[in-house]
Amino acid sequence: MTDDARALPTPCVVVLVGPGASGKTTWADAHFPAGAVVSSDRLRALVGVAEDDLEASTDAFALLEEVVARRLARKLTTVIDTLGLDAERRRGWLALARALGLPCYAVAFDVPAKECRERNRQRTKRIPAAALTAQLRSWPAVRDQLAGEGFDGVLRPARIRAVPEAFTRAPAAAERQRQDPSRLRFGLQLATFDWPGGNPALRQRLTEIAQAAEAAGFDALYVMDHFRQIPQLGRAWDAMLESYTTLAFLAGVTSRIRLGTLVTGVTYRNVGHLGKIIATLDVLSGGRAVCGLGLGWFEAEHRAYGWSFPPVAERYAWLEEALQVLPLVWGKGAPAFRGEHVKITEALSYPRPLQERIPIILGGSGERRTLRLAAQYADACNVFGDAETVRHKAEVLRAHCVDLSRDPAEVAVTQLSTVLIGTDDEQVWRLIEEHRPRRQDPARFAAAVNAGTITDQVGRFRELAEAGASEVMVRLPNLVDATALEPMADVIKSFR
């Protein structure tokens, strides 16, 4: 299937409606995984002797209703493959979908009667002629009723793709990008290092990935500032490189790409020392350092390393003082700073950074405090979420800037997300099956990692750009070697 197919959000409910021999089962099998299709014929074979065992119909439909109800309760994409000619049954499925917050579509198989009869004659086990005639006679009235029954759409049996919600508008957005290109910067976050070959191969593989990212057009490389792997991505004993040592190494094997953390926990280091580290990185990288800064949230990591983990209010105060001190460390002279938490007699760093101002990206989406701190002190904020979320955060940030008499154009909005990208639908689904947790529904995993094709990703990033993002940072869960970056190179070219 190609990206010009109709995109349906997953999970969703799809009700097939049409007379016998109109091609419903063939179409469903071509467009959806076998496990998503609940077929009355196949259930007849399960509770009876064969798919054409009409005496098993009552039991088969009872089982169908039970399976549909249980799948919808688990928010799984479900294709209901029956005749669909019974209005009461359709209303029941639609009501159940509505109650569970799932979109529900009907697919109308409006096939000429002559064609249905010809297909039926070619079957090994035919539908009784009288039964098929009755279905064909009732079909026009059913077809005309569908539009008024409340479905989210009544579709023709054309190409359909079940995609994460984020990609339902992607084709139109990708076309806007093709017609009227918008510029967007791209950053690559390196968050896991359990790569083939283990520790002996890590240095070479990191070099290859960093150089491939630069060649692919990425504008920045980011690492997490953690000392052991976070639970969202792995186990405590999985490989995790120290952030600033890694950035210094990356400075030596790249030449253009900017380098920073997403983001440095303010609780991990003396702020003056942090300023010196980043100034050194800027000098040795040729002026490519970026300072990501945040509250620090991983309490277990703090406890394990013996660092204090103050209450959130105290960490906010600490963060604000760090935002004030770091530009002093990087600036001229050696001014003193005496805050409640940060006390420096001489804020200096020689050699001074090559950049006149090292950009500060403040991580976090909190509207009352974090975005206000970004508006007051930072050069950018870094947020999560879809285009609508980014648009809202950008509006909040702008309001804070206006309130603080700062030009909103001085504070950029950046967005971080996980991206699983393939060249086509088949590769995307192979990647989903390869990387999803064993017990997780493929559709739910696909939504969590924004799994989609190159066109899907171009459309999604265009929407983020339209929402106000000037840079998007991506984590690629399949990044084990340089080949995983090739599809992203095609995406990035669309924004140049």
CB atoms within 10 A of CB 264: 24
Based on the domain organization, do 211 and 162 belong to the same domain? no
Domain membership of residue 141 as a residue range:
6-168
Among residues 139, 168, 197, which one ends one of the domains?
168
- 1 domain-assigned: no
Domain count, the chain: 2
pLDDT for position 4: 59
Q: How far is the C-alpha of 141 from the C-alpha of 389, rounded, in Å?
A: 43
Strand partners, 416: 473
- 36 domain-assigned: yes
Based on the domain organization, do 385 and 482 belong to the same domain? yes
Based on the domain organization, do 148 and 270 belong to the same domain? no
Give residues with Cβ within 8 angstroms of 215, minimum separation 6. Answer: 489
Q: Are 421 and 491 in contact, with CB atoms under 8 Å apart?
A: yes
Per-residue pLDDT reduced to its tens digit, 156-188: 998 888 888 889 899 999 999 999 999 999 999
Based on the domain organization, do 328 and 272 belong to the same domain? yes
Q: Which residues of the chain have pLDDT under 70?
A: 1-4
Q: Which tokens belong to 140? A: 């026009």
pLDDT for position 479: 94
- 55 domain-assigned: yes
Report the CATH number that the domain containing residue 160 is assigned in CATH: 3.40.50.300
Nearest to 94 by CA among 152, 142, 37: 152
Phi, psi of 108 (to 5 degrees): -95, 120
Q: Are 251 and 279 in contact, with CB atoms under 8 Å apart?
A: no
Based on the domain organization, do 102 and 189 belong to the same domain? no
Strand partners, 417: 474
Among residues 168, 186, 215, which one ends one of the domains?
168
Based on the domain organization, do 268 and 122 belong to the same domain? no
Among residues 133, 168, 203, which one ends one of the domains?
168
- 433 domain-assigned: yes
DSSP-derived 3-state class of residue 244: helix
What predicted TM-score, i.e. pTM, was given to this entire model? 0.86
Based on the domain organization, do 479 and 433 belong to the same domain? yes
Based on the domain organization, do 127 and 205 belong to the same domain? no
pLDDT for position 2: 41
Based on the domain organization, do 155 and 185 belong to the same domain? no
Report the CATH number that the domain containing residue 204 is assigned in CATH: 3.20.20.30
pLDDT for position 325: 95
Based on the domain organization, do 237 and 288 belong to the same domain? yes
Based on the domain organization, do 198 and 110 belong to the same domain? no
Helix axes 87-99, 57-73, angle to 10 degrees: 20
Per-residue pLDDT reduced to its tens digit, 235-257: 999 999 999 999 999 999 999 99
pLDDT for position 1: 35
Based on the domain organization, do 202 and 318 belong to the same domain? yes
- 465 domain-assigned: yes
CA Rg, the chain, in Å? 28
